[in-house]
Structures are given as structure tokens and as C-alpha cells.
Amino acid sequence: MHYFANPTRFQRLMDILRPWVVGVMLAMLAYGLLAGTVFGPADRLQGESVRILYIHVPSAWMAMFIYVAIAAASFVALVWRHPLALIAARASAPIGAVFTLLALITGSLWGKPTWGTFWVWDGRLTSVLVLFFLYLGYMALWQALEDEEKAGRATSILALVGTVNIPIIKFSVDWWNTLHQPASVVRLDGPTIDPSMLWPLLAMGLAFKAYYVWVLFARMEALMDARRVQAAQLRAAQHAAGGAL
């Protein structure tokens, strides 16, 4: 695992993977969007508004997936002090927060024609809102601590504490009030969604995931470059001081 702790090596890996990631993303996006929104069927009950599903559901998946990814990366960073894991966790947070916000916005736009209201205090909506707050807190803590090394470990602890609390929050909020339809894709007795919608949906899920990896690479590169610039500036300052430091 530490083979890729070297940023230059990791950079090479990113350069190799990037075209594939972008290719998968474009292919899946093209199939998913065309099959879902142009050629796919409308819903018997909900009509055309059901097509927002192809954005809403993958966004919600990514919102949860990225938080888990942050937690996993934080664990690796805390236990093995892996520097890239920390950068990956930090770079993931804003992407996850945007997907969470997207899930909330598309859900609210979908809720208006189908439930008759933009927002209800329903279990699943509320737990996604709480997840959004967790993302904001994680990013705020990164901003607040100046020492990058300490900020990294503090945010990792926070991410892990948040993660063990997510099931409790989710369960408590579900128990509190539920209006949202139950899960219809991942079920023990197989999906209840029609294949003509399921395949485009899964393709969109894959496209979103590839998009995440693509943006993650760009953000990680930016963070690593920023660190290099900082190191170079420090060296230049030391040089200017004539080695007096």
C-alpha cells in the first residue's frame, strides 16, 4: 500500500487511469441519459417527472458512498499514517457535499409534483440533510485547524466518529417518521424496479462514480501541488535568510 505513498508514483498511476475513467464516465452517461430520459418509458403514475430519478438516485448513492470512502481513507490515514489517504479524504469531502446537496435539491423538485410539496420532514430526507451537515462539519474542521498535520488527524477522528454515528442517526430518523418510498433497487428479493429503468439507472450510478474518481484525481493533484508550492516557498525563504534559520 505504501508503494503509492510517493506522490510522483501516484501521479503516474492517475495519468494511466484517467482516460479509462473519463471513457467509462462518458459512455455510461450517454447510455444512461439517452435510455433513461429520451427512449425510456415514463412512469404510469408519475408521468415524465420520474426521469429525475436518473440524477436523484445516483446522487444519493454517491452522497453515502463518498462519506464511507472518507471514513475508510481516514482510518487508513490514522492507522498507517498514509499521506495520500488523508489527501484523498480531504479532496473527497466537497465532492460528497455537492452530491448530497444535489440529492436534496433533485429530491425536493421531484417531491413537488409527486408529493405536492418541496419538503417534508420525512425520515430519508432528514437523514440526508443530517449527512449534509456532517459533510459541512468535516470541511469546517479542516478549515479551522492551521497545522495541516494536526488538522488531518483531527478530521480523521471526526470522520470515524461520524461514521459510527451514521447508522444510529439513520435508524433514529427513520423510526421518527417515514414517507419516502422504501428501497427498490437493493433488496433481498431482487429489485422491484422495471429493467427498462433499472439498467439506465445503474449506468448512471457507474457514470457518477467515474465522475467522482475523475474529480477526485484533479482535486488530489491540486492539493499535492499546493503542498509542493508551499515546500518550495519555505525553501526559498530559508535560502533568502541566508541559512540563518
Cβ 90 to another protein shortest distance, Å: 16
Cβ 74 to another protein shortest distance, Å: 12
Cβ 5 to another protein shortest distance, Å: 21
Site for another protein in 19-78 (CB under 8 A): none
Cβ proximity to another protein: between 131 and 207 the closer is 131
Residues 6+ apart with CB under 8 A from 63: 96, 99, 100, 103, 128, 131, 132
- 243 to 227, 228, 231, 236, 239: CA distances (angstroms): 22, 20, 16, 10, 6
Cβ proximity to another protein: between 58 and 152 the closer is 152
Q: How far apart are CA 124 and CA 99, in angstroms?
A: 15
- Of 42, 66, 63, nearest to 52 by C-alpha is 42
Cβ proximity to another protein: between 72 and 145 the closer is 145
Long-range contacts of 220-224 (CB under 8 A, 24+ apart): 220/10, 220/14, 220/84, 220/87, 220/88, 220/91, 221/11, 221/14, 222/91, 223/87, 223/90, 223/91, 224/7, 224/11, 224/87
Cβ 9 to another protein shortest distance, Å: 29
**C-alpha cell read off for 194:** 422495471
Q: Does 163 bind another protein (CB under 8 A)?
A: no
Q: How far apart are CA 7 and CA 215, in angstroms?
A: 17
Q: Does 101 bind another protein (CB under 8 A)?
A: no
Q: Does 179 bind another protein (CB under 8 A)?
A: no
Cβ 33 to another protein shortest distance, Å: 33
Q: Does 183 bind another protein (CB under 8 A)?
A: no
Q: Does 79 bind another protein (CB under 8 A)?
A: no
Q: Does 176 bind another protein (CB under 8 A)?
A: yes
67 and 214 in contact (C-beta within 8 Å)? no
Cβ proximity to another protein: between 140 and 222 the closer is 140
Site size for another protein (CB under 8 A): 27
Q: Which string of b and e fits 23-40 if b means at least 16 CB within 10 Å?
A: ebbeebbebbbebbbeeb
Residue from the set 72, 98, 101, 154 that interacts with another protein by CB under 8 A: 154
Site string for another protein, 113-152 (x = CB under 8 A): -----------------xx-xx-xx--xx--xx----x--
Per CB under 8 A, residues contacting another protein are 130-131, 133-134, 136-137, 140-141, 144-145, 150, 153-154, 157-158, 160-162, 164-165, 168-169, 171-173, 175-176
